[in-house]
Chains A and B, each alone.
Chain A
Amino acid sequence: MANIDISGVKKVYPGNVTAIHDLDLSIDDGELVVLVGPSGCGKSTLLRMIAGLETITEGTVAIGGDVVNRKEPAERDIAMVFQNYALYPHMSVRGNLEYGLKNRGTPRPEIDKRVTEAARILEIEPFLERKPRQLSGGQRQRVAMGRAIVRHPKAFLFDEPLSNLDAKLRGQMRIEIKRIQRSLKTTSVYVTHDQLEAMTLADRLVVMNAGRIEQVGKPVELYEKPASLFVAGFIGSPPMNIFETATLRELPGVSLPASLPQGADVIGVRPDSIVLDQPAGAAIALKGTVELIEPVGGESHVYVRLAGIEQIVILVVQGRATFGETDEVAFYLPEAALHPFDKTSGRRIE
């Protein structure tokens, strides 16, 4: 087990395409860090550089204090779980689990011990002699996990490991991965484009965009205090509502709280912090027509078209909505729930 230090790392592909710009990130021993972002943001490239499957153009990657830039993947003592599992199709499950250990010259009794142990943890003992094609998607996923576990590596690297599973199985495996990572305490880097998966798994979340880190922090921190418009829009579902202050000021009867910081030309409000009853403190009062109500079980998502401007606002209402579609509603954005941003830089203003 080890910490991972990424400093000044840059990736330039042939043809001068820069995938990663001068990136720094420290991952503590035993921590589970999730890299999240839209496709093409460089999260997979970064993971593959840690694995040694991509060369590092500039900067250094250190695992357990050791700079590994020039080392082969096998010499870095990491294990990787791939999106399509990458199980060796002609080997049995046991063969798949043993292969990495055999290549390292692990003695036979030790191999058997570790395979038994991993099979027990992942509950795949009944399938050990089967070929991968005889397994279901969820079982293959477990075998792929097992191949990582048996190695007792310094770090686990996960490259969108749950993307090929259906929604229900994905939820189960997410919990499973978290449980196993907790009990083994192995440093882990996990790449996903699914923000829900990212939020629920991460000890720390790294939001990436266009080859740069937008924000690093605990999932709750990122949710409560997004450092940029990008993070604000990416984390949370339904997404944050974004208003231009200039537009709001022009609406008749709307006044903005005096506490709003200088230069906040954009403000964001989470759908679940919008309220229907006038709150005690300062708030922005708005009116609009209900366009659509989506009941999603315990709560309802309400899409309201603002009077005067053609902007749609999303509200989360607990339980059932007390109004119907095409009704007029008034609602309030409480002062404390406002996230002020600078429009040009996209950064948060304190």
Chain B
Amino acid sequence: MQTKRTIFPNKGLPYLLLAPQLVITFVFFLWPAGQAVKSSFEREDPFGFRTTFVWFENYQRLFREPSYINSLWTSLVFSVAVTAISMGVSLLLAVAVNRLLRSGRIYTTLLVWPYAVAPVVAGILWWFMFNPTIGILPYVLDALGINWNHRVNANHAMILIVLAASWKQISYNFLFFVAGLQSVPQSLTEAAAIDGAGPFKRFWTIVFPLLSPTTFFLLIVNINYAMFDTFGIIDASTSGGPAGATNTLVYKVYADGFLGLNIGSSSAQSVVLMAIVIALTAIQFRYVERRVQY
């Protein structure tokens, strides 16, 4: 691993400089993660007196549990929908802003601020809009003959959290797409224009392929976001309901472990989640590192 050509000769100082970070990492990250792995192999008796080592029993049970399979499916649908919607919309907006010169900056400012809105707040805002009694959107939908109620209708609930989560993520994707578009050399599109390609053809044959490293990077980041950073949105709008229709993996860990106090199952769920994050991070670093050399 890279260092400077010359280095300071001190022996103890680097450890001192690293100590705060490492202590916190160990106490609040590694130790708890280790505990999660350990208790995912254990079962506690109902009174909490004894724990027994049960090998993979917790995992076996978990994957036999219909509600967990349902939660896996829910997470998948949710992640794919959020990623597709937020990336699609932000790409469109980024391309539009990139066509403009000065007014582009004003639009950018108007589009990026939702990044700073807390997921819970985003959840509340959309929940308010879709509130079946007083919300504006159910009112409009009613006129179209749709009886909106996310409290009882599973699909409605899913649509609600997908929209809220996508809304919040657009600003992030937008900024990265704009940065990606700006790094596409102007000379390339000019050359394509001379070759007789119209604006739409130029976009799909020249710009979009050159944008693929950014797109791929965002794909991973968005899946990660939908999986792990949307707890607040769900908690504020649907609380996993109705009947588990929006109970994503992260929400389920919280609900089972913290509210339901089922430690063994919750730990096994945590370990599965860790595996997912590790896989996503590995993919991200493996491919994203190469994204500079298109």
**Partner-B contacts on A (CB < 8 A):** 48, 53-54, 72
A48 to B9, CA, bound (A): 15
The digit string for B1-37, where 1 denotes a CB below 8 A from any CB of A, is 0000010010000000000000000000000000000
* Residues of chain A within 8 A of B6, CB atoms compared: 48, 53-54
The interface size bin for chain B is under 10
A54 to B9, CA, bound (A): 11
Q: How distant is B25 from chain A, measured CB to nearest CB, in Å?
A: 29
A54 to B6, CA, bound (A): 7
A53 to B5, CA, bound (A): 9
* Residues of chain B within 8 A of A72, CB atoms compared: 9
4 pairs, A vs B, C-beta closer than 8 Å: A48-B6, A53-B6, A54-B6, A72-B9
Q: Chain A at the B interface: mostly helix, strand, loop or mixed? A: loop
* Residues of chain B within 8 A of A53, CB atoms compared: 6
- With CB as the reference atom, state the residue of chain B lying closest to A48: B6
Q: State which residues 84-122 of B face A: CB under 8 Å.
A: none
A187 to B185, CA, bound (A): 52
A53 to B9, CA, bound (A): 10
Q: How distant is B217 from chain A, measured CB to nearest CB, in Å?
A: 32
Q: How distant is A86 from chain B, measured CB to nearest CB, in Å?
A: 12
A26 to B9, CA, bound (A): 28
- With CB as the reference atom, state the residue of chain B lying closest to A51: B6
Q: How distant is A181 from chain B, measured CB to nearest CB, in Å?
A: 26
- With CB as the reference atom, state the residue of chain A lying closest to B6: A53
* Residues of chain B within 8 A of A54, CB atoms compared: 6
Q: How distant is B195 from chain A, measured CB to nearest CB, in Å?
A: 40
* Residues of chain A within 8 A of B9, CB atoms compared: 72
* Residues of chain B within 8 A of A48, CB atoms compared: 6
Q: How distant is B84 from chain A, measured CB to nearest CB, in Å?
A: 45
- With CB as the reference atom, state the residue of chain B lying closest to A54: B6
Q: How distant is A218 from chain B, measured CB to nearest CB, in Å?
A: 33
A72 to B9, CA, bound (A): 9
Q: How distant is B272 from chain A, measured CB to nearest CB, in Å?
A: 43
Q: How distant is A50 from chain B, measured CB to nearest CB, in Å?
A: 14
Q: How distant is A54 from chain B, measured CB to nearest CB, in Å?
A: 7
Q: How distant is B167 from chain A, measured CB to nearest CB, in Å?
A: 42
Q: How distant is B98 from chain A, measured CB to nearest CB, in Å?
A: 31
Q: How distant is A118 from chain B, measured CB to nearest CB, in Å?
A: 26
A288 to B9, CA, bound (A): 62
A72 to B6, CA, bound (A): 12
Q: How distant is B20 from chain A, measured CB to nearest CB, in Å?
A: 26
Q: How distant is A165 from chain B, measured CB to nearest CB, in Å?
A: 23
A101 to B6, CA, bound (A): 22
A279 to B276, CA, bound (A): 88
Q: How distant is B122 from chain A, measured CB to nearest CB, in Å?
A: 40
A328 to B9, CA, bound (A): 66
- With CB as the reference atom, state the residue of chain A lying closest to B9: A72
A72 to B8, CA, bound (A): 10
- With CB as the reference atom, state the residue of chain A lying closest to B5: A53
A48 to B6, CA, bound (A): 10
A48 to B4, CA, bound (A): 14
A343 to B192, CA, bound (A): 61
- With CB as the reference atom, state the residue of chain A lying closest to B8: A72
Q: How distant is B11 from chain A, measured CB to nearest CB, in Å?
A: 14
Q: How distant is A84 from chain B, measured CB to nearest CB, in Å?
A: 13
- With CB as the reference atom, state the residue of chain B lying closest to A55: B9
Q: How distant is B183 from chain A, measured CB to nearest CB, in Å?
A: 25
Q: How distant is A80 from chain B, measured CB to nearest CB, in Å?
A: 12
- With CB as the reference atom, state the residue of chain B lying closest to A72: B9
A53 to B6, CA, bound (A): 6
A72 to B7, CA, bound (A): 12
Q: How distant is B234 from chain A, measured CB to nearest CB, in Å?
A: 47
- With CB as the reference atom, state the residue of chain B lying closest to A52: B6
Q: How distant is B4 from chain A, measured CB to nearest CB, in Å?
A: 10
A229 to B133, CA, bound (A): 97
A248 to B6, CA, bound (A): 52
The digit string for B66-89, where 1 denotes a CB below 8 A from any CB of A, is 000000000000000000000000
- With CB as the reference atom, state the residue of chain B lying closest to A73: B6
Q: How distant is A110 from chain B, measured CB to nearest CB, in Å?
A: 29
Q: How distant is A224 from chain B, measured CB to nearest CB, in Å?
A: 38
Q: How distant is A52 from chain B, measured CB to nearest CB, in Å?
A: 9
Q: How distant is A44 from chain B, measured CB to nearest CB, in Å?
A: 11
A48 to B5, CA, bound (A): 11
Q: How distant is A180 from chain B, measured CB to nearest CB, in Å?
A: 27
